[in-house]
Amino acid sequence: MTAPSITAVPFFSPELFEGDREALLEIVHAVGTGPEQKFILGERTARLERELAGRTGARAAVACSSGTSALTLILAAMGVGPGDEVIVPAFGCAPLAATVVDAGARPVFADVDPVRLTVDPAAAESLITSRTRVLLAAHMFSVMADMPAFRELADRRGLRLVEDSALAQGGTLRGRPAGRWGDAGLYSFVQVKTFGMPGEGGVVVTDDTALAAEVRMLRNHGQDGVHRFVHHRIGHNSRFDEVMAAFQLHRLPGLDGRLARRAEISAHYSRRFAPLAERGLVAPPEGGDGRFHYVYTVLTECRDALRAHLAERGVAAHVYYPRSLPAQPAFAPYARPGGSWPNAEAAARRNISLPLYPNLTDAQVEHIADAVCAFTETSAFTETSAFTDTSTFTDTSAFTETSAFTDADRGRA
Ligand SMILES: *Cc1c(COP(=O)(O)O)cnc(C)c1O
């Protein structure tokens, strides 16, 4: 029956900012009573941008109102519009396709790798046409996309590369931070992301200073920051809040510690779940290059039974994307007729994420791991998984220069 509340583990922590409450109130007071009465795009925002640029080694960082907005601004700054195609993952969050449609361009869905769950570079390449302007790769759950392959592909085909690293802050691949492989990358600061905050915000990071200048203009109605009410381009309202900038500056020194705790929990899950692979429960590998620790996602054909099993033990698990993007009512009209995305469909059917946040206690982590392991002993699991694919994650440190997937893996029409 229902576990006692001592073991109840919510999917997202309600206490992420518990230790920062006083600081937040002081910041609200300081900004609210400051002589400048500047609540957006002030010196605190500028300082946060400098800190984040320094931390990631980017020439420029431009704070904006959300991760979604960061994508919108990047596409607009790149001049993406009607008649253009942008290749996007067939599995992932709505903004991957919605921002492209909003720009007036067409999202072209590419299938994902079956275990990494990130867009497959070979599938993306097979979809390039004379109208393709941008490749949009996104990191997923805890695994970075094959960015070396995407970088090579974009350079070889003369395309722009946008790296949706909204949830991957803190990840690195071959020593290069997530967000720094594309012509532009981004981070979301929405509450639950790895550098989340109590509000909405995001940032664009890039080495392309001309692109950064465009993004800077576009986030504030196309003004250049010098001449007010001169609008060089049709822009957006995507400004950044000074209270949130001060709060992020306050939280920045603790970020590495929180990321390390996330990595520790993730490694513990991986150690516990490694023996489950042969039974058909697929977990990401322990540690490794190209990983980050946003949520911990496993794949199983009986994920609904797993979710119920966990709920009975007080553990809230989360299914992020129960449908692929081409199967969403909003995006189906943009999916190519007759197209198929078998890996995205399988991911939608099989993904389930476990709690992963820095303030989980060791006892909670063990309780979650025990509950998952116990599930694989139940008949609900053993009877289903006898018939299913037991492929395991490939070692993500083995990213190849060019992709090695076969034609059969590609989501071609
Ligand atoms: C969270 C997220 C976004 C959107 O960020 P918001 O700040 O919520 O708008 C975009 N892409 C990915 C991959 C995300 O995880």
Per-residue pLDDT band for 287 (boundaries 50, 70, 90) equals: low
Q: Which atom number of ligand 1 is nearest to the Cα of residue 68?
A: 9
Rounded to the nearest angstrom, the distance between the alpha carbon of 166 and the centre of ligand 1 is: 5
Cα distances from 326 to residues 239, 334, 338, 376, in angstroms, run 31, 8, 11, 32
- Mean pLDDT within 42-51: 98
Residue 411 scores a pLDDT above 90: no
Q: How far is CA 181 from CA 99, 154, 165, 256, 300, in A?
A: 20, 11, 10, 21, 31
Query: pLDDT over 70 for what percent of the chain?
Result: 91
Yes or no: domain 255-399 corresponds to CATH 3.40.50.261: no
Task: Give yes or no for residue 166 CB within 6 A of ligand 1.
Answer: yes
Closest residue CA from atom 6 of ligand 1: 67
Average pLDDT over the chain, rounded to an integer: 91
Strands 176-177 and 172-173: antiparallel
Give 122's pLDDT tier (boundaries 50, 70, 90): very high
Q: What is the mean pLDDT of residues 26-46?
A: 97
The torsion angles phi and psi of 164, rounded to 5 degrees, stand at -80, 95
Nearest ligand 1 atom to alpha carbon 200: 7
Class of domain 18-253+406-410 as given by CATH: alpha beta
Q: How far apart are CA 169 and CA 72, in angstroms?
A: 19
Instruction: Quickly tell me which residue has 């067409």 as its tokens.
Output: 106
pLDDT at 379: 85
pLDDT of residue 371: 97
pLDDT at 393 over 50: no
Distance between CA atoms of 359 and 17, rounded to whole angstroms? 10
Q: Is the distance from the beta carbon of residue 72 to the nearest atom of ligand 1 less than 6 Å?
A: no
β-bridge partners, 185 = 163, 205
Lowest mean pLDDT among 205-214, 236-245, 341-350, 392-401: 392-401
pLDDT at position 60 over 90: yes
What's the rounded Cα separation, in Å, for the pair 98 and 104? 10
Q: Is the CB of 107 under 6 A from ligand 1?
A: no
- Where do the DSSP E strands lie in 125-260? 132-138, 160-164, 172-173, 176-177, 184-188, 202-206
pLDDT at 133 exceeding the cut of 80: yes
Do β-strands 132-138 and 160-164 pair in parallel, antiparallel, or remain unpaired? parallel
C-alpha Rg value of the chain to the nearest Å: 22
pLDDT (tens digit per residue) in 295-332: 999 999 999 999 999 999 999 999 999 999 999 999 99
Q: Is the pLDDT of residue 12 over 60?
A: yes
pLDDT of residue 226: 87
Q: Which atom belonging to ligand 1 lies closest to the Cα atom of 190? A: 7
Residue 286: band (very low, low, confident or very high) from pLDDT cuts 50, 70, 90: low
Q: Is the pLDDT of residue 174 over 80?
A: yes
Ligand 1 centroid–CA 196 distance in Å is 11
pLDDT-derived band of residue 93, with 50, 70 and 90 as boundaries? Answer: very high
Q: Ligand 1 centre from 390 Cα, in Å?
A: 30
Distance from Cα 385 to the centre of ligand 1, integer Å:
32
Question: What tens digit of pLDDT does each residue of 322-374 get?
Answer: 999 999 999 999 999 999 999 999 999 999 999 999 999 999 999 999 999 99
Task: Map out the domains of the chain as residue ranges.
Answer: 18-253+406-410, 255-399
